[in-house]
Amino acid sequence: MANKSVWSDNRFWRRTATWVTGFASVLLIWLTFDTSAQIAMGNDQDLQNKVTKRVPGPTVINYKITYEMSAKRGHEIPVIGEKEKFFGRDDYSEEEAGALLHLGKLGSQAKNCMDCHTLLGNGAYYAPDLTKAWLDPAWGPDGAMQALTGKNTKEEAMAEFLMHPDQYPTHARMMPDLGITAKEAKGLVAFLKHMSSIDTNGFPRNFGKIKGAVHGK
């Protein structure tokens, strides 16, 4: 009787399938725990001790955020700097900051922002990607939006635009007036500022090409 090739042996393939399935399961479990640790939100103590977290704590709204090129990683990363006033304060507690972010997140969902915009890779491409909107130099002191809205700070200009977008036509695809209140606008801007502080591995890839975005103020 001729020797049977191992490639046609059902037992070989059953054993192989068992080993591959077992290895893949172990790898998936390890990746799950590793990812959970990577995306776990930091806290105020981390920020005070300058401990870098991929997702900083809510009180990051008390700090200056810039976007800088990392030679080691080959793309831009958010950098948390010194204290910076946000709507006149730089001492929001974790509870206050967390409540603002929660309000902003709920607002972004209630107003269906992702029907037009992209947030952290999710949503649509009809309107600008908002993942790093806080870092867009257009909202900075040398950008057009503060002058256009008549506001003196980035957060006030963003809030004013959100409340009355129809008064500031900046694009052929105008944002509709969604009836956003001052309180909701403050929460949304806090949500956008926190989202810009998240290390997204250089996403969106084309953001760093905007003049003034990298090392922006």
Residue 24 falls inside a structural domain? no
Mean pLDDT check: name the lowest of 87-91, 136-140, 208-212: 208-212
Tens-digit pLDDT profile for residues 98-108: 999 999 999 99
Beta strand extents in the chain (DSSP E only): 63-70, 75-83, 118-119, 122-123
Distance, in Å, from the CA atom of 201 to the CA atom of 35, rounded to the nearest integer, reads 14
**Region 118-145: what's the mean pLDDT?**
93
In this predicted structure, what is the pLDDT of residue 126?
92
How much is the average pLDDT of 12-35? 89
> In the chain, helix, strand, coil percent, each to 5?
50, 10, 40
Residue 214: its pLDDT value, please? 63
Number of domains observed in the structure of the chain: 1
**Tell me: the pLDDT tens digits for 177-197?**
999 999 999 999 999 999 999
Do the domain assignments include residue 1?
Answer: no
Question: Does the pLDDT of residue 171 top 90, yes or no?
Answer: no
Question: Residue 169 has what pLDDT?
Answer: 83
Residue 44 lies in a domain: no
pLDDT at residue 33, rounded to an integer: 81
Assess whether pLDDT exceeds 80 at residue 146.
yes
pLDDT value at position 217? 43
CA dihedral 47, 70, 55, 119 (to 10 degrees): 140
Higher pLDDT, 189 or 7: 189
User: What is the average pLDDT across 9-27?
Assistant: 91
Mean of pLDDT over the chain: 90
Q: Is residue 186 one of the residues assigned to a domain?
A: yes
Q: Which of 103-112, 162-171, 199-208 has the highest mean pLDDT?
A: 103-112
Tokens of 149: 């809205």
CATH number, domain of 94, equals 1.10.760
In a domain, 25, yes or no: no
Residue 27 lies in a domain: no
Q: Which domain holds residue 84?
A: 54-197
Q: Is residue 97 part of a domain?
A: yes
Give tens-digit pLDDT for 69-100: 899 988 899 999 999 999 999 999 999 999 99
Residue 38 reports pLDDT greater than 80 = no
Q: What Cα–Cα distance (Å) separates residue 201 from each residue in 65, 82, 173?
A: 16, 22, 29
At residue 35, the pLDDT reads: 76
Asked, for residue 136, whether it belongs to a domain, the answer is yes
